């Protein structure tokens, strides 16, 4: 946040008016255009923003103007565009803290020695052929995906990625497109002894392993509330009530292997989403070099187009991005190849 806006915040916190504060207000007024105020009022109405007090409202308005400036300054020649969305009154730091996943990068650090999954009964060893791959795959067109959901300001992306691939696998296998409960995973996975921690982040592998052991119920039986509460499923559910996957598989970390897995079904992936906050549309290519330690958001790869761009389903509502989706440039953009998981049985 620039010095002028910081000075404005200081003025909000002092009780006695001063010449300094008057100068700050005048400078801000000169910087803010009428169309910016109109944009803020329209945005606030559309997103139904209500703040705790006047100080909070002024602060959020200042943050909005900074984000609006970032959107307006985005070069038109880029392969993607920026826009306003539900995060437009959040700073970058707040976005990372309140929306992204604090756990995924820690898994990379703890797994540096490697894991032997060969004898794990929950892990399959299917071979997905990487030769003669189709020119494109798009599971959005095949009726195996529910409408895009919204995790809110709970770091529960991992539960949406988990529930999403289970929903798709169930539709592919059993011809039933059900909605499974993210809230059950938020509330119960840590209680079952896994390292995931509800709104403070977690791992799709934990979510799938939990579902293998306890089953996952439909969301109408256990609706999403966006915060971690008391677990309502303390023992394995009846198979007539819960869905039980049997096996999953980690995807090899190459473009060909991810494409081959996508021929089979949608794939849970982890990415670095630090720079996704203002994405509006187009092919995104600005994550920089990404390692496993940089991963901080769980999403679902649902296909690729003829140019090799990845089609990725997010959990930030259909109002974000391209109807809730983002297209990523070919290759390991945002770390898309580093943490793939697919349900196989």
Active-site residue numbers?
A: 157, 297, 314
Nearest Cα to Cα of residue 179 among 222, 138, 141: 222
- For 131, which DSSP code? S
Distance of CA 296 to the CA centre of its chain: 9
Six-digit token string for 41:
């009022």
Q: Match 């089953």 to its residue by tokens.
A: 215
Q: Does residue 143 contact residue 171 with C-beta atoms inside 8 Å?
A: yes
CA distances from 277 to 122, 190, 325 (A): 35, 28, 13
DSSP 21-84: HHHHHHHHHHHS-HHHHHHHHHHHHHTT---SSHHHHHHHHHHHHHHHHHHHTS-TTSSEEE--
Structure tokens that stand for 201 in this block: 């982040």
């Amino acid at each position: 946040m620039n010095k002028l806006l910081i000075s404005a915040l200081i003025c909000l916190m002092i009780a006695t008016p001063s010449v300094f504060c008057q100068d700050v207000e005048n400078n801000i007024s000169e910087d803010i255009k009428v169309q910016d105020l109109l944009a803020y009022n329209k945005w606030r109405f559309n997103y139904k923003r209500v703040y705790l007090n006047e100080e909070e409202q002024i602060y959020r308005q200042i943050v909005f103007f900074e984000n609006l400036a970032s959107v307006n300054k985005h070069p038109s020649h880029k392969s993607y565009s920026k826009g306003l969305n539900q995060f437009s009154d959040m700073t970058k730091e707040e976005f990372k803290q309140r929306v992204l996943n604090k756990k995924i990068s820690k898994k990379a650090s703890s797994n540096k020695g490697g894991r032997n999954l060969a004898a794990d009964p929950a892990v399959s060893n299917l071979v997905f052929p990487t030769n003669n791959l189709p020119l494109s795959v798009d599971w959005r067109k095949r009726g195996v995906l529910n409408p895009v959901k919204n995790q809110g300001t709970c770091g529960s992306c991992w539960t949406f990625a988990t529930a999403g691939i289970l929903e798709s696998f169930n539709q592919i296998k059993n011809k039933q497109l059900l909605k499974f409960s993210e809230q059950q995973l938020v509330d119960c996975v840590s209680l079952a002894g896994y390292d995931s921690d509800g709104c403070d982040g977690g791992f799709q592998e934990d979510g799938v392993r939990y579902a293998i052991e306890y089953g996952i119920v439909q969301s109408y039986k256990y609706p999403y509330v966006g915060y971690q509460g008391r677990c309502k499923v303390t023992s394995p559910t009846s198979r007539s009530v819960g869905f039980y996957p049997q096996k999953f598989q980690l995807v090899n970390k190459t473009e060909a292997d991810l494409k081959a897995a996508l021929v089979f079904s949608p794939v849970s992936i982890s990415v670095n989403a630090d720079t996704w906050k203002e994405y509006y549309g187009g092919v995104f290519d600005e994550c920089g070099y990404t390692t496993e330690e940089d991963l901080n958001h769980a999403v679902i790869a649902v296909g690729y187009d003829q140019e090799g761009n990845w089609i990725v389903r997010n959990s930030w509502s259909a109002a974000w991005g391209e109807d809730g989706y983002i297209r990523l440039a070919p290759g390991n953009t945002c770390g898309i190849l580093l943490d793939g998981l697919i349900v196989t049985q």
